[in-house]
Structure 1
Amino acid sequence: MFKKLLKYSGLVLLIILVSASAFAAHEWFAKKPVMFRAFLDRTLIKIAFESPETLTSLGFLESVGINGHNAELDDDRPEKADELFAQLEGIQRILLTYDDASLDENELLTKEIALYLLSFSDDAKAFRYHNYPVNQLFGIQNGYPSFMESQHQVNSIEDAEHYLSRLQKVKVKFEQNLQGLRIREQKGIIPPRFVIERVLTEMNGFVDTPIKENILYTSLQSKLAEVGDIPIQEQARILLAAQERIRDYVHPAYALFIDYFSELEAKAGTDDGIWHLPDGESAYRLSLKFFTTTDYTPDEIHTMGLSEVARLQSEILAILESEGYGVDDGFFAAIETMAADPKFYYEDSDEGREQILLDYQKILDEINMGLDDAFRIRPQAGMEVVRIPKFKEKTAPGAYYQQPALDGSRPGRFFANLYDIKATPKYSMRTLAYHEAIPGHHFQVAVAMELENMPFIRKMAPFTAYSEGWALYSEQVAWELGFQDDPFDNIGRLQAELFRGVRLVVDTGIHHKRWTREEAIEYMKLNTGMADSDVVSEIERYIVMPGQATSYKVGMMKILSLREKAKLALGDKFNLRDFHDVVLKNGAVPLDILERLVDRYIYTQATSKFSFQSSRRIAGQGSD
């Protein structure tokens, strides 16, 4: 959780300020800085400096000539995590010593959010091993090559040497992660068998790929060629060294995991829900609380999902019937008939996939030009569409968003999965683009990163119900603004929302009601009409990320209810741009805090209206 906080920050800028004055030096070294914000920002800086991979992602130290961290990888020993938990306890103790009376309104909110996260960290300590850190979606086995490809920049020979250093040191990193896996095994926390099968397939494919076709080699080759002033002879030397290190260090690192999981497979079972782990039911309730930032029980969320599924299917069927599709045989048959129409798909070829990326960019450019009536605040960072790397697209989700670099060196990125052409019907593309990019994740994440005079913890707080709720809400906003006026595009939008409603049912079904993987796949298939490849990968995602999938719909429903609350309270005083300012300009927050912020907005607007009317009456100008 806190690693995610650090990943997006520009914390290192403050290092420059540390040397600016004696007071700044005091704020850096004092056990308790005078300035409340200095304590929070300094704390995250110090944690960040223990993570060379985070520093690489930030990309700010390089601008002041510091780049030695780019030759190192994170210390992933289990003991390092123990140290972090102890460090967080100390941070919480100091944070509580700041008197509320000495803090302004914004600082009080920051303190509340920080304590919320620290309190959850304390609760989560008992369940720190209740996860599968190597799975078909994420883990060092695909995170490491993705990090080297997308985050490690090569602009000089020295950068390339650092790249080579990280190739050599990866075996130690794998060994450290293996320690954590063995601890989980001893505690009876073993992934379901299908997870092990997936990661073995992925890792065997990785090492079986010829070295010169490996992403670690081809990425370095491309980066060297793009620099422009590195002699061909030097490029050849560096690439030869890369081949040797992939052979001598990277492949043996993967062999450690391949051997381990090959042996572990015999111990794995087919119980997929977290309920089957030691004290798994408690772990799931805590996971739901973290991802939804609510106290909803699994049964409440399950019931909520069933209700939303029924409502959304009814709306989709009404549109299909109006478009001439037969609906007498039920939702699944109607959706299957529509989805089978070849007019909704691109050519299954490299050219067809390239056209998908181009069309996604057109969709985003169009909506970006037409949001003035709904948004006052806009991110400065750019946005681009790219394909999910081929080596991991088979088990990757349909799409995801990557935040921009704070120094402007990298725009926000919407990664699209093009593995199965049938998983990208044309009528779903607008909704997916709006969710992942504009005005969805890109607006929310990039705006938060660019907020001025805001502590970094507020810019990066990992409240999934807020962030994913916003992205799902953005899909409806785009429709309300007229960007999905084609009936089939609207079906795509409703299908996407239905998909999130189904998630409420299957996530709680798997982890609370003890559904099997196959039962969950069957339910999702029958109630969404999604492509088989998407259904399988989604259900398998929920199994390894308990509770996360419930955050989208819970967050969206809360934002919509708050907007309706504001509309009813303010009438013609309500302004959509003002409402979006309130939601976006405070960074990610728990849903109960978001409601408090909206209530304050309502009160402020209502009070200003009352004051204006009162002044008119006092001046003898009549009344309403």
Structure 2
Amino acid sequence: MKKILKYTGGTLLAAIVAAGGIATHEVVAEKPFSFRVFIDRPLVSMAFDSPEMLTSLGFLESMGIKGHNARLDETDPEKTAQMFADFKQFRATLDRYEGLDENEELTRDIATYLADMIIAVEPYRYHTYPVNQLFGVQNGYPSFMEAQHRVEDLEDAQNYLSRLQAVESKFGAQLADLKVREKRGIVPPRFVIDRVLDEMRGFVETPAQENILYTALVKKLDEAEDIDAEAGVQILATAEQHIEQYVYPAYQDMIGYFSNLSDRAGNDHGYWHLPEGEEVYKLALKMFTTTDYTPDQIHELGLSEVQRIQSEILTILNGEGFDTSVGFTATMADLAARPEFYYEDTEEGRAQILEDYQKILDEIDAGIDGAFRVRPKAGMEVVRIPEFKEKTAPGAYYEQPALDGSRPGRFFANLYDIKATPKYGMRTLAYHEGIPGHHFQIAIAMELEGMPFMRRMAPFTAYIEGWALYAEQVAWELGYQDNPYDNVGRLVGELFRAVRLVVDTGIHHKRWTREQGIEYMLANTGMAESDVVSEIERYIVMPGQATSYKIGMIKILELREKAMQELGDQFDLRDFHDVVLKNGAVPLDILEKIVDRYIAETKSTV
């Protein structure tokens, strides 16, 4: 905690102490008297070392603290090393607490799992591609500035300008980190470099006044009631200068590095080709699925699920008059070729997609009280993925709301290829990203009262993505996809996640090429080729993550079935969802313990 004291000066520390009624001893002691303070301290420390995270969380502004909004995160090897050391100390101290109640013991189990996972990653902390076609400073920075940085008064605007200047230092630190990886033989495949270069070159070739960093600021200033027009003109003039003098040169340095690196990159796509790559991939699977499943087990599960789901889809389409005797691939091509399932390939058509997504979400939000008691307080909205990055972005993603309610949850939809948004797939995607999927689960977790910060923000992907995929099925069970084609869309979505089990393990364990992965996914999903290419390239730079969805969904369904069988007439779907949602994200084996406790407690009430 001394690191926080140094970083924040006295002001932020005073805010923490005052806001939580925490004695100074509790903040700095190796073993605080309060178990809650001890649990929260590592993540609070990480948050206060991350100005961008503080901006995203949005809780300090209500205390009048805004200085962090003038700074950006930077890669720092010393801080990273200290973080691992701190977690080792945290893990050792966890076992020293005695006399914990049932909920505190659950918190300790979750914290132990998380700490052990972080410690296991340390030897392989450079086994990532931190700048790739999906994420990294090159697209994360402008997206963050557009979506997260609030401008309500002159101080906010000045902070925005400071962050335009800070890009130079941020990118420089990232370049130094990339060079460390290069020396260790951790270089992304050539196609990744090509994608990144295309994106960055397009970014710097955009006139400053058309750049998202400028246009986003124009919109923010227009909406800021406390900034007059004259001040706004001066702010925009300075922003244009900063983009030209700081932002574009920083991007040019990154472009120069990747241009030189391209000649040294290869065309082996799986992690198996990296030093210790096979061990790293097994660890990635454990981290993302929170299971001990082997790559071969996951691969075989995927093949089995692909076959089952394809059979269900063909049965439905056969009933709708399709000639399914031609096989799955040809049948899906027939479905995809029908123009009635697509919007107009115009800006008006894209605007209609966003409007219809919102209608779908409003409809289900108004009608699911029979399945859910707990509901998020935060609202949500549907927005388009920024055009500068949509070509290589996934089909959709969710962004959490601000803790103080100043920013709603956001479902970002990719509208680059109109053929990638068939009408029959829109409901299931909206349910996954929004209600009752990610928005329900993530916003509810963030709003849990009396729960440690760690449990409100826990990063267990199998639970988080498993819930969102489970939510798609719940929406269907509640009657929101009665149209046969909407149900096909749901099954196509589930098939997509089953195929991921096959291609992720295929690429990183069985040594498939990128092209083999694309070929398999095209043949077995019926997805648009642009989406397939984007997805396969995603799995290559994020090994293991794509397997978490189906593994998590299967586990939640297994636990629901177990509760239904054991409780019989006592089973209430609302109770089950309360149990799953009101504990935040957890590893799957701990989720099973939580459900088992719910079953036992429910039985005891008879």
TM over 0.5: yes
Q: Which residue pairs with 1:607 in the alignment?
A: 604
Matched residues in 2 for 1:308 and 1:229: separation? Answer: 56
Q: Which residue pairs with 1:81 in the alignment?
A: 80
Matched residues in 2 for 1:288 and 1:534: separation? Answer: 23
Matched residues in 1 for 2:27 and 2:134: separation? Answer: 39
Summarize deviations over 1:311-340 as a string: whole Å, max 9, x none: 000000000100000011100101110111
1:502-581 mapped onto 2 (5 Å cutoff)? 502-581=499-578
Distance 1:357 1:40, change over 3 A: same
CA shift for structure 1 position 249:
0.8
Summarize deviations over 1:109-157 as a string: whole Å, max 9, x none: 1111111111111110011011100000000100111111111111111
Summarize deviations over 1:580-622 as a string: whole Å, max 9, x none: 111111111100011111111111222222xxxxxxxxxxxxx
Moved more, 107-116 or 219-228: 219-228
Q: Which residue pairs with 1:139 in the alignment?
A: 136
Say whether residues 1:376 and 2:370 are aligned partners: no
Specify every segment of 5 or more residues in structure 1 that has no aligned partner in the other structure, as ranges.
1-11, 610-624
1:102-501 mapped onto 2 (5 Å cutoff)? 102-501=99-498
Q: Which residue pairs with 1:43 in the alignment?
A: 42
Give TM-score, length-normalised by structure 2. 0.96
Alpha carbons 2:432, 2:471 under 8 Å: kept? yes
Alpha carbons 1:78, 1:176 under 8 Å: kept? no
Matched residues in 1 for 2:21 and 2:515: separation? Answer: 64
Instruction: Provide the alpha-carbon RMSD of the alignment.
Output: 1.4
CA shift for structure 1 position 346:
0.4
CA shift for structure 1 position 467:
0.6
Q: Which residue pairs with 1:585 in the alignment?
A: 582
Say whether residues 1:55 and 2:54 are aligned partners: yes
Matched residues in 2 for 1:404 and 1:21: separation? Answer: 22
Q: Which residue pairs with 2:96 in the alignment?
A: 97
SS in 1 for 2:486: helix
CA shift for structure 1 position 75:
3.0
Distance 1:21 1:403, change over 3 A: closer
Matched residues in 2 for 1:539 and 1:178: separation? Answer: 26
Distance 1:599 1:20, change over 3 A: closer
Matched residues in 2 for 1:204 and 1:503: separation? Answer: 31
Matched residues in 2 for 1:578 and 1:23: separation? Answer: 35
Instruction: Give, as a single letter, the amino acid of the residue that structure 1 aligns with 2:78.
Output: E
Matched residues in 2 for 1:281 and 1:501: separation? Answer: 22
CA shift for structure 1 position 14:
9.3
Alpha carbons 2:152, 2:225 under 8 Å: kept? no
Summarize deviations over 1:525-548 as a string: whole Å, max 9, x none: 000010000000000000000000
Summarize deviations over 1:372-398 as a string: whole Å, max 9, x none: 111111111111111111111110000
Matched residues in 2 for 1:110 and 1:474: separation? Answer: 25
Instruction: Give, as a single letter, the amino acid of the residue that structure 2 aligns with 1:39.
Output: F
CA shift for structure 1 position 15:
5.6
Distance 1:20 1:313, change over 3 A: closer
SS in 1 for 2:23: helix
Matched residues in 2 for 1:125 and 1:470: separation? Answer: 28
Say whether residues 1:33 and 2:26 are aligned partners: no
Q: Which residue pairs with 1:71 in the alignment?
A: 70
Give TM-score, length-normalised by structure 1. 0.94
SS in 2 for 1:324: coil
Instruction: Give, as a single letter, the amino acid of the residue that structure 1 aligns with 2:454.
Output: I
Distance 1:324 1:163, change over 3 A: same
Moved over 4 A (4+): 12-17, 20-23
Distance 1:437 1:252, change over 3 A: same
SS in 1 for 2:383: strand
**Aligned positions, number:** 596
Q: Which residue pairs with 2:6 in the alignment?
A: none
Matched residues in 2 for 1:491 and 1:15: separation? Answer: 55
CA shift for structure 1 position 30:
2.5
CA shift for structure 1 position 23:
6.2
Alpha carbons 2:397, 2:433 under 8 Å: kept? yes
SS in 2 for 1:392: coil
SS in 2 for 1:44: helix
Specify every segment of 5 or more residues in structure 2 that has no aligned partner in the other structure, as ranges.
1-10
Matched residues in 2 for 1:232 and 1:461: separation? Answer: 43
Alpha carbons 1:465, 1:555 under 8 Å: kept? yes
Matched residues in 1 for 2:351 and 2:600: separation? Answer: 50
Alpha carbons 1:77, 1:179 under 8 Å: kept? no
Summarize deviations over 1:200-224 as a string: whole Å, max 9, x none: 0000000000100001111111111
SS in 2 for 1:375: coil
Q: Which residue pairs with 1:618 in the alignment?
A: none
Matched residues in 2 for 1:58 and 1:558: separation? Answer: 30
Identity of aligned residues (%): 67
